[in-house]
Amino acid sequence: MEKFELEATQTLLKKNFISEEQFKQITAYRNLNIFSLYSELRFLLYLSILSFTTGIGILIYQNIDSIGHMAILSLLLTVTLICFYFCFKKSNGFKKEETTFATLLFDYLLLTANILSCTFIGYLQYQYHPFGADYGLATLIPTLIGFFCAYYFDNKSVLSIAITGLAAFVGLSVSPQALLNNETYATTSLSYSGILLGIALVIWTIYSAKINLKKHFNLIFFTFSLHLISIACITNLFDDYWFVFAILLVFSAFYFYKISYKIPSVSVFVFNAIYAFIGFTILIFKTIAFLDLFSFITILPPVYFGLSIVLFIKLIKNFNHNTAG
């Protein structure tokens, strides 16, 4: 890594982007071996929040008979309200543009409050059924709380939780296990819901950018929309009306290709390319099966996947080159 940084700095010097004096200052600074603790501290804060919320879950599970439901709910509500109290006290209020807490700690305190609020409402519904048999409403309430907190306090982590809750509200399973078991869209109607939700997120993102409302949230919305639409389309490529979803996948791939350059975002570009590749591969094998060209099965994969890897690398290089400026 140090060798690469030195070569990159020397290249800048040769092209006269920096002076000889600046080159010496950069080299001297790197020789000090100073590094930032920012990433390490953020990781520890995330780890502490996960440990705390997980510990509360284990505490509830192991002592549910001895502690009592009301005591557990009271404890959850108290801790949640305390977290929200300090967040509101230290916040700068709602602003359309990007804003932050004075101290990074309160971002994680807000994240803790939102996770605990989800736990509280879920446990309340499971034990006492205040919303009757409508578990969707029990999902919607913490989702709305999450959206409010995400926009009021300007927190991307809480926004991700809120969008996940919105997907759960319409019936979509977004867990890694659901993806591995192909259960994200259990029925065709849920596939339609996933596509409509993805389109709705795109429309909201475009509107938010137009009114300059939290434009830095665009990447999160576009990422979720890309996954929802692409996975729904790929899942339905095996159904009777597969050609409709194939056309939609083509339009989606083209749109997010443009978006990845506009933002710019290499993650959107890479995931979009992967989804497009999966969809295109499925269509190729469907064509082979339809035309009864199974003799190509033995020679097609090595050539096809080899060319695909070369093309993918070339696309990534072009993307990095075109967005470097």
Kindly state the DSSP code that residue 175 receives in the 8-state scheme.
Answer: S
Whether the per-residue pLDDT at 88 is higher than 60: the answer is yes
Residue with tokens 């505490």: 59
Dihedral over alpha carbons 174, 180, 185, 186 (to 10 degrees): -120
- Of 146, 92, 94, 99, the closest CA to residue 119 belongs to 146
**pLDDT the model gives residue 101:** 82
- Tell me the per-residue pLDDT of 222-271, one tens digit each, with 9 for 90 and over: 999 999 999 999 988 888 788 899 999 999 999 999 999 999 899 999 99
Higher pLDDT, 51 or 156: 156
What's the CA gap between 54 and 59, in Å, rounded? 9
The pLDDT confidence band at residue 311, using thresholds 50, 70 and 90, is: very high
Residue 138: count other Cβ atoms within 10 Å of its Cβ. Answer: 21
Whether the per-residue pLDDT at 217 is higher than 50: the answer is yes
Q: What is the torsional sign of CA 41, 217, 177, 304?
A: negative
Cα angle for residues 24, 29, 31 (degrees, 5° grid): 95
Determine the 3-state secondary structure of 17 from DSSP.
coil
**pLDDT the model gives residue 198:** 95
Whether the per-residue pLDDT at 33 is higher than 80: the answer is no
Residue 243: count other Cβ atoms within 10 Å of its Cβ. Answer: 11
pTM, two decimals, is 0.81
Higher pLDDT, 181 or 11: 11
Hey, where are the domains in the chain?
44-159
What's the CA gap between 196 and 137, in Å, rounded? 20
What's the CA gap between 237 and 91, in Å, rounded? 47
The pLDDT confidence band at residue 4, using thresholds 50, 70 and 90, is: low
What's the CA gap between 67 and 161, in Å, rounded? 29
**pLDDT the model gives residue 131:** 80
Whether the per-residue pLDDT at 29 is higher than 60: the answer is yes
Which of 105-109, 199-203, 269-273, 277-281 bottoms out in mean pLDDT, i.e. has the lowest?
105-109
Residue 233: count other Cβ atoms within 10 Å of its Cβ. Answer: 27
Task: Identify the top-confidence range among 56-65, 141-150, 183-192, 285-294.
Answer: 141-150
Residues with Cβ within 8 Å of residue 156, at least 6 apart in sequence: 150, 216, 217, 220
Tell how many helices (H) and how many strands (E) occur in the chain: 14, 0
**pLDDT the model gives residue 177:** 46
Measured between alpha carbons, how far apart are the two ends of the chain, in Å?
A: 22
What's the CA gap between 198 and 185, in Å, rounded? 13
Which of 125-139, 145-159, 305-319 bottoms out in mean pLDDT, i.e. has the lowest?
125-139
Q: Are 84 and 152 within 8 A, CB to CB?
A: no
Q: Are 146 and 162 within 8 A, CB to CB?
A: yes
> Is the preceding peptide bond at 264 cis, omega within 30 degrees of 0?
yes
Q: Are 123 and 72 within 8 A, CB to CB?
A: yes
What's the CA gap between 109 and 238, in Å, rounded? 45
**Encoded amino acid at 240, one letter:** D
**pLDDT the model gives residue 63:** 67
